[in-house]
Amino acid sequence: MATPDRFPLPQVSESTRKPEWLKVRLPHGEGYERVKAIVRRTKLATVCEEARCPNIAECWGGGTATVMLMGEVCTRACRFCHVKVGAPPPLDPMEPIHLAQAVKEMDLEYIVVTSVNRDDRPDGGASHFASAIRELRQHSPRTIVEVLIPDFKGVERDLDTVSEARPHVVAHNVETVERLTPTVRDRRATYRQSLKVLEYLKKRPERLYTKTSIMVGLGETDAELEQSFRDLRDVGVDVLTLGQYLQPSQYHLRVERFVSPPQFEAYKQLAESYGFLYVAAGPLVRSSYRAAEFFMKGLMERERLGLASNT
């Protein structure tokens, strides 16, 4: 367990103003503008824009993007998330094909496909995910496909559906430490169920790389974070990202603390000591983060050449 001397908690500021390290420049650049134009024309729903991600210029300019399937209305109400909640519209059966065509045109090196929760669907949308994966791999065989999936209520049959479509990376976010999960996430999502989802996917015969993300600044302690690192490695998670929680509106959970870059570095070193293949940690790090994707791309290239293996 981490000691206060090794990994001291940052002092909580009473100020509600964002620290300087969270301020970013407006996105620009040739690569960014090219992807933006295609997104506009194809009406692709990107998390990059919906979530106002601070890394959008870096990602789009570097050949990566995160897109959202199955509409913009979620069936779950997590208290950190700005996505609309309600009764979603029917799925568009042509969406996987349209997505694959747009990604091919953008000539992306890495695509992250995520979605809202669709508890209204018998399989939670697993078959829709699988269709998107297959179309992407057919249209853009050199593009690395990562899927960031819901928990599908922990139904193994639905997890099989996604895994059998063979994405290169499968991610499912625990979001926060165990104690805070009932406050932060929808009541249908539990910390232990998320761990089981990650463990099950890692044990699948497809031998997929697994990934998860944790937000900090919600009231967690160092000891709780370390326990989460331990829990995640116990179920075989390969890649971990840690980033600052930012309150999307006055109706969402407030920020309990702004974590400094040096503190993020301390968390990164602590997580690495548990044996993750890669840890990305920083104020602006998000679940879909360019540095982590660059690492995965390099890892898979080494695997293709027989210099690495996913065990």
Please check if 48 is assigned to a binding site: yes
Any binding-site annotation on 74? yes
The alpha carbon of 75 is separated from its chain's Cα centroid by a whole number of angstroms, namely 18
Q: Is 213 labelled a binding residue?
A: no
> What is the spatial distance between Cα 118 and Cα 131, in angstroms, rounded to a whole number?
16
Check whether 115 is labelled as a binding-site residue.
no
Phi, psi of 288 (to 5 degrees): -100, 100
Positive or negative CA dihedral for 306, 307, 308, 309? Answer: positive
Q: Which two tokens stand for residue 111?
A: 């695509």
- Structure tokens that stand for 95 in this block: 């969406």
Q: Which helix (H) or strand (E) holds 148?
A: strand 144-148
Q: Fill in the amino acid letter for 159.
A: L
Buried b / exposed e along 115-130 (16+ C-beta atoms within 10 A): bbbbbebebbbbbbbb
CA distances to 35, 42, 44, 67, 291 from 30, rounded to whole Å, are 9, 19, 19, 20, 20
* 78 carries a ligand binding annotation: yes
Residue list for the binding site: 48, 53, 59, 74, 78, 81, 288
Binding-site residues for [4Fe-4S] cluster = 48, 53, 59, 74, 78, 81, 288
